[in-house]
């Protein structure tokens, strides 16, 4: 498969390693500034460069969109109507309105579109889902998951900028939400959210207590100002699963209630963990599917609706939300 990439920031080298590691090519990169994009292309062995995503139409088999969140929708809309398959970094877009526009475009042309929520593809978490389906954990009581690191406050950096749809929820909190959704197989029926906002107006940290159908709950946190414990716990009536660094999980440990035998699952990444979503995109294209069952469109839309509601409760508004009025 021949990929194009939109954006050339921190995450893109990880994508390049994984795509090339599974035998795909990355042949084109697009950025806003010709000299910056040329420097990246030279440094990473990419032959074609451009400053307009639509220049990728007809040039590649699929495009990985890795701009700041505020740029996902426009990059995707430059490609999807022309039938170009898109793997779009998380979150799919800034809000549910933008996600719907992207889904409509993909539906209209039949192009493949998947949010790059790589965590959902990881073998460890797929195994966790199997265990839950088999009833090994019993009734799920609670999920505890957090993702946070201490980032220097720089108002123009994408993490802190409302213009770029920054904040802990869309950058990091989406991973604990993903784990809770995976475990309960639904978004919460109700939640309480508490957040601290930065001077720039994005959420520096967020704490969410959520209730799910059937009585289970989740305690989820994200932070841009603190290193939070990276080990998630899924507590069931029949046992507890601990997942170190759950968003990039390679391992989990099951401890049955009542002192039975502990079981460990080890699934080291073949490359860096991005390969699973890249291979899934390739399988979908091969099969002529426009959507993946691992990260379906309904999932991305439900997640955007949920994060919109959380932001409304904690008072985080982005300039692009103005399009809603």
Ligand X SMILES: NC(=O)c1ccc[n+]([C@@H]2O[C@H](COP(=O)([O-])OP(=O)(O)OC[C@H]3O[C@@H](n4cnc5c(N)ncnc54)[C@H](OP(=O)(O)O)[C@@H]3O)[C@@H](O)[C@H]2O)c1
62, 63, 66, 223: residue in contact with ligand X (rule CB under 6 A)? 66
What binding mask, one character per residue, do residues 138-177 give for ligand X by CB under 6 A, x or -?
--------------------x-----x------x------
Closest CB to ligand X among 137 and 243? 243
50, 71, 188, 216: residue in contact with ligand X (rule CB under 6 A)? 71
Closest CB to ligand X among 165 and 218? 165
> Under the criterion CB under 6 A, does residue 67 sit at the interface with ligand X?
yes
Closest CB to ligand X among 9 and 45? 9
What binding mask, one character per residue, do residues 231-270 give for ligand X by CB under 6 A, x or -?
----------------------------------------
The DSSP string of 235-281 is EETTEEEEETTGGG-SEEEEEETTS---EEEE---SSSSTHHHHHHH
CB-based contacts of 152, cutoff 8 Å, min separation 6? none
Closest CB to ligand X among 120 and 221? 120
Pair 178, 246: CB distance under 8 Å: no
Q: Which helix (H) or strand (E) holds 195?
A: strand 190-197
Closest CB to ligand X among 66 and 208? 66
Q: Which bin fits 297, alpha (ψ -120 to 50), beta or left (φ > 0)?
A: alpha
> Under the criterion CB under 6 A, does residue 121 sit at the interface with ligand X?
no
The DSSP string of 205-245 is EEEEEEE-TTS-EEEEEEESBS-----EEEEETTEEEEETT
Residue nearest to ligand X (CB): 9
Closest CB to ligand X among 35 and 190? 35
What does the radius of gyration of the chain's CA atoms come to, in whole angstroms? 20
> Under the criterion CB under 6 A, does residue 43 sit at the interface with ligand X?
no
What 8-state DSSP symbol labels residue 78? T
Q: How many residues bind ligand X (CB under 6 A)?
A: 21
> Under the criterion CB under 6 A, does residue 280 sit at the interface with ligand X?
no
Nearest in space to 313 (alpha carbons), one of 224, 222, 191:
191
Q: Which residues lie near ligand X (CB under 6 A)?
A: 7-11, 31-33, 36, 66-69, 71, 89-90, 116, 118, 158, 164, 171
């Amino acid at each position: 498969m021949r990929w194009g990439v939109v954006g050339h920031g921190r995450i893109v080298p990880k994508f390049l390693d994984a795509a090339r590691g599974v035998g795909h090519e990355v042949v084109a990169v697009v950025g806003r500034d010709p000299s910056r994009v040329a420097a990246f292309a030279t440094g990473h062995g990419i032959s074609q460069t451009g400053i307009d995503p639509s220049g990728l139409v007809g040039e590649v088999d699929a495009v990985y969109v890795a701009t700041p969140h505020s740029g996902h929708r426009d990059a995707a809309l430059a490609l999807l109507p022309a039938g170009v398959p898109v793997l779009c970094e998380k979150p799919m877009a800034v809000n549910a309105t933008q996600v719907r526009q992207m889904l409509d475009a993909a539906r209209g042309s039949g192009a493949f579109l998947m949010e790059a929520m790589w965590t959902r593809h990881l073998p460890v978490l797929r195994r966790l889902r199997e265990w839950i389906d088999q009833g090994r954990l019993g009734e799920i009581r609670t999920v505890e998951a957090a993702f946070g690191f201490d980032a220097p406050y720089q108002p123009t950096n994408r993490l802190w900028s409302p213009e770029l749809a920054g904040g802990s929820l869309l950058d990091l909190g989406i991973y604990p939400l993903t784990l809770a959704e995976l475990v309960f197989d639904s978004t919460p029926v109700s939640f309480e959210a508490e957040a601290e906002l930065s001077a720039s107006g994005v959420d520096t940290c967020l704490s969410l207590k959520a209730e799910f159908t059937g009585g289970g709950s989740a305690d989820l946190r994200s932070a841009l100002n603190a290193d939070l414990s990276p080990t998630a716990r899924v507590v069931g009536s029949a046992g507890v699963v601990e997942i170190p660094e759950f968003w990039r999980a390679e391992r989990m440990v099951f401890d049955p209630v009542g002192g039975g035998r502990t079981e460990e699952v080890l699934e080291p990444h073949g490359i860096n963990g991005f390969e699973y979503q890249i291979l899934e995109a390739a399988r979908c294209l091969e099969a002529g599917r426009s959507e993946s069952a691992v990260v379906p469109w309904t999932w991305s839309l439900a997640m955007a609706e949920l994060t919109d509601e959380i932001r409304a409760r904690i008072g985080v508004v982005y300039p692009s939300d103005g399009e809603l009025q």
